[in-house]
Amino acid sequence: MAQPPALTVPTLASLGLPAERPLVLVDVDEVLGLFMQGFGDFLADRGYEMRIERFALFQNVYPPGGSEHIDLETGRKLFDEFFGGHCHEIEPAPGAVAALNRLSKAAEILILSNAPAQGERLRTQWLARHGMAHPLVLNSGPKGPIAAGLIAQTPHRTAFIDDLLPNLDSVAEHSPATATFQHVADLRLRPFAPRSERHRRLDDWIDLAEAIEAAVRS
């Protein structure tokens, strides 16, 4: 059986981040950016409808007037096309830019996104254009292993923010001392997003920034 590729964790120094301050790891889609809204606009231009009926992705995408959502293969093709040329067209989540500006006064910010490699350039440009020019690290799969590798490089307190419970659970398992927070930016998704007592859920960035500050304060 083939072994999975070894995980490569960049050093904080190579990302331009000193290890002398707390570290905050932040997701992009539905945390810093309104992914579902932007992906929905992209789909509409290609003749599909985004109907927010559950906390899912492709199961919310339908042919116009159709009763069956698109299949996985079609969804992946659209997803890859979106990240290859359109992922920079999403809007920032309300309050996200101001919150990162506030947090950056007390902590280092690292953007940890599960996005296809072809979207790295456009995602980096998007972050810079909206005043969030923090280092970006792309990942695939659970975020716990790479987060643990990054967190291990600083002796200070750390925090992690994501919309997906599997990623939050993964980070909690690999870095138990890290404060984990759930944030769901899209108003339409919030009622469908599962919660967990393991992670504090804060969907307002003003409240979230305050909670993160308290969690990483020395």
Predicted pLDDT of residue 178: 98
Residues 6+ apart with CB under 8 A from 55: 189, 192, 193, 194
User: What is the C-alpha to C-alpha distance for residues 2 and 23, in angstroms, rounded to an integer?
Assistant: 35
**Whether this model's pTM surpasses 0.85:** yes
User: What is the C-alpha to C-alpha distance for residues 196 and 165, in angstroms, rounded to an integer?
Assistant: 7
Predicted pLDDT of residue 64: 87
User: What is the C-alpha to C-alpha distance for residues 185 and 180, in angstroms, rounded to an integer?
Assistant: 16
Q: Tell the burial category of 71 from Cβ atoms under 10 Å away from its Cβ (0-12, 13-18, 19+).
A: exposed
Amino acid identity of residue 103, one-letter, is L
Q: Please give the chain's pLDDT, 218 residues, in tens.
A: 444 456 889 999 999 999 999 999 999 999 999 999 999 999 999 999 999 999 999 999 999 888 999 999 999 999 999 999 999 999 999 999 999 999 999 999 999 999 999 999 999 999 999 999 999 999 999 999 999 999 999 999 999 999 999 999 999 999 999 999 999 999 999 999 999 999 999 999 999 999 999 999 96
Q: Which domains does the chain have, with CATH numbers?
A: 23-34+90-216 (3.40.50.1000), 36-88 (no CATH)
Predicted pLDDT of residue 1: 46
User: What is the C-alpha to C-alpha distance for residues 27 and 45, in angstroms, rounded to an integer?
Assistant: 26
Predicted pLDDT of residue 218: 63
Predicted pLDDT of residue 191: 97
Angle between helices 144-151 and 165-174 (to 10 degrees): 40
